[in-house]
């Protein structure tokens, strides 16, 4: 509170005139962000314009340079349940509002979509992921990034002059579950603790997660955690590395299967979401990276970028082979990962769809885009 007060040239006492405590201030920051989101959606929904154009207006308005600073919707569950439940509910209200626009596009023929609400969640997830990777000092401008995201969401990455393949059969989780079952008792106990800690870091963030709460959820003492980790930062690093190893395992498994472009993307997203609910999960979110010390953060980011680089090479290969459109692979990979990044937050309690159904809607949006494709002759 002292830092916030100093940034506005005030004193903490002035903040307490408006907010009971730091938690109340954070809650109202979320409310402000949600209100901005809702206003942008409502403003874009001009009468007489087709649904796809409205969605594109929302995307471009959200990412424009002069837009209002947005709170990042992470660590929501670090708040008291009365606050966090309200934030989650309001996020779903905004998703429903966007889903109504997607439905409008389906009705007027400008959008091809089977489940508007899941697609709306995917779109918001892509937009909420942008602040984590967008750089004003990279090889692209903000305008180029906006154009690329707009293009991929609208047209997809799969070439539009060739027919989409049929969805493949669901993948087997057996190789991943069997690998975990081969852990000895001590390793399995540690892995279970990391799984529980990963879920807490996903939902509550690094600052909202305590070693005491992790110990209680894991049915162990805090001393049991300190046996493996000297402090919370080293535990977080282990959780992040566990998540990254899991995602690398999925990629290597798919590479061994030698799947084509379409099947590879579909099965990658399926496995990521399906394994989230198994002892191999949860899927890790990466918004806690800045909590790591400089050395650990730099090393970990290098590992992440190396794996992303492998995925971009796959995209480029599929472009060269004539399966994908000539999109910028940097943005393609960020759009794809953005959809699945927030899965543990959106779908923790809302389970109207199975992981494989959600994965198929996500991957279809990425591959085919929102715009209807011409039927092949």
Sign of the four-CA dihedral 138, 29, 240, 297: positive
CA distances 323 to 117, 163, 243, 336, 368, Å, are: 28, 10, 30, 17, 12
Q: What is the pLDDT of residues 200-239, one digit of tens each?
A: 999 999 989 999 999 999 888 889 899 999 899 999 999 9
C-beta neighbour count of 296 within 10 angstroms = 17
* pLDDT for res 16: 76
Q: What is the pLDDT of residues 281-314, one digit of tens each?
A: 999 998 899 999 999 999 999 999 999 999 999 9
Arithmetic mean of pLDDT over the chain: 93
Find where tokens 């995307």 sit.
59
Q: What is the pTM of this model?
A: 0.92
Q: What is the pLDDT of residues 3-26, one digit of tens each?
A: 877 777 777 777 777 888 888 988
Sign of the four-CA dihedral 49, 50, 54, 60: negative
Percentage of residues of the chain with pLDDT beyond 90: 80
The reply to whether omega before 282 is within 30° of 0 (cis) is yes
Q: What is the pLDDT of residues 230-280, one digit of tens each?
A: 899 999 999 999 999 999 999 999 999 999 999 999 999 999 999 999 999
E strand or H helix at 254: helix 232-257
Please report, for the chain, the start and end positions of each structural domain, with discontinuous segments joined by +: 13-368
pLDDT band at residue 377 under the 50/70/90 scheme = very low
Please state which CATH class domain 13-368 belongs to.
mainly alpha
């Amino acid at each position: 509170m002292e830092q916030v007060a100093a940034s506005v040239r005030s004193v903490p006492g002035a903040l307490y005139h408006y907010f009971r405590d730091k938690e109340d201030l954070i809650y109202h920051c979320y409310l402000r962000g949600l209100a901005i989101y809702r206003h942008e959606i409502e403003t874009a929904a001009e009468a007489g314009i087709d649904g796809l154009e409205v969605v594109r207006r929302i995307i471009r308005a959200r990412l424009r340079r002069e837009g209002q600073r947005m709170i990042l919707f992470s660590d929501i569950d670090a708040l008291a349940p009365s606050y966090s439940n309200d934030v989650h509910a309001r996020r779903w209200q905004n998703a429903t509002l966007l889903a109504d626009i997607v439905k409008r596009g389906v009705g007027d023929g400008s959008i091809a979509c089977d489940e508007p609400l899941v697609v709306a969640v995917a779109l918001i997830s892509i937009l909420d992921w942008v602040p984590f990777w967008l750089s004003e000092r990279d090889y692209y401008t903000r305008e180029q990034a906006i154009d690329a995201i707009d293009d991929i969401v609208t047209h997809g990455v799969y070439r539009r002059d060739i027919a989409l393949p049929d969805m493949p059969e669901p993948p087997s989780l057996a190789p991943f579950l069997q690998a975990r079952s081969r852990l000895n008792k001590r390793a399995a106990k540690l892995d279970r603790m990391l799984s529980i800690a990963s879920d807490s870091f996903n939902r509550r963030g690094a600052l909202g997660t305590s070693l005491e709460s992790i110990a209680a959820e894991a049915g162990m003492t805090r001393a049991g955690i300190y046996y493996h980790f000297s402090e919370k930062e080293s535990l977080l690093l282990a959780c992040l590395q566990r998540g990254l190893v899991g995602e690398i395992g999925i990629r290597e498994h798919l590479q061994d299967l030698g799947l084509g472009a379409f099947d590879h993307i579909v099965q990658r997203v399926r496995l990521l979401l399906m394994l989230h609910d198994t002892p191999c999960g949860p899927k890790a979110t990466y918004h806690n990276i800045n909590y790591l010390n400089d050395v650990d953060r730099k090393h970990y980011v290098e590992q992440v970028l190396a794996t992303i680089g492998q995925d971009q090479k796959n995209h480029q290969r599929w472009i060269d082979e004539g399966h994908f459109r000539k999109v910028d692979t940097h943005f393609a990979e960020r759009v794809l990962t953005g959809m699945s990044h927030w899965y543990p937050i959106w779908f923790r309690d809302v389970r109207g769809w199975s992981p494989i159904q959600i994965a198929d809607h996500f991957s279809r949006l990425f591959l085919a885009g929102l715009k209807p494709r011409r039927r092949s002759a």
